[in-house]
Every structure is written in C-alpha cells, then in structure tokens.
Amino acid sequence: MNNINESEPVPFDNSFLESENQIGFIGTGSFGGKAKGLARINSILRNEINPDDFPGFIINIPKMVVISMHLWSKMSSTILPIQEFPMSESH
C-alpha cells in the first residue's frame, strides 16, 4: 500500500505530472460530487487495498486535475451557456 499523502488531492503545479499524486486541483473551495467520489475511490485503492492480493492486475484511477466548484462557478458565469441537445431514447 502507498503513502497516504499520495492519495490526497494536491494543488496543481508544474511538478504534479511527474509526482506520484493522482489528483491535483485548481482553485479554492470544494470539489463537485464526481470529483469527490473519484478522490474517495483513489484513497481506498491506495490505502485499503493491497496490490499483492491481485497479482497480474493494476487497479487505479487515471491521474486527473479537478477545477474547484468556486473556480468553476466563476468561469461558468463568464462563458456562453453550452447548447444542450436532446438525447435520443437509446441513450
């Protein structure tokens, strides 16, 4: 199992991509629901599951950068609304 600090989201900077951390963030404030869920899954995978119990498998989430809810709300108020298209019944 890995260092617990590697499972915690860290502020994004130039060194993030070369680090062992899986989740970086930009902005202040909370994460949205999807990002919170992925952060929790990352924590479980890194701290509660022993990779030796699953030989031949690598189980992880991709490295990602999250935009905080505060920054997202500031950004989304300054850009044009996204055109929504109706989904077909098959989706």
The kind and range of the H/E element at 75 are helix 69-76
- Alpha-carbon Rg for the chain, nearest whole angstrom, is 17
pTM higher than 0.85: no
Terminal C-alpha separation, the chain: 39
Q: What is the pLDDT of residues 22-44, one digit of tens each?
A: 999 998 888 888 999 999 999 99
Judged on CB neighbours under 10 Å (0-12, 13-18, 19+), 7 is buried
Give the per-residue pLDDT at 71: 85
Specify the residue for token string 């699953």. Answer: 54
Q: Say if CB 37 and CB 72 are below 8 A apart.
A: no
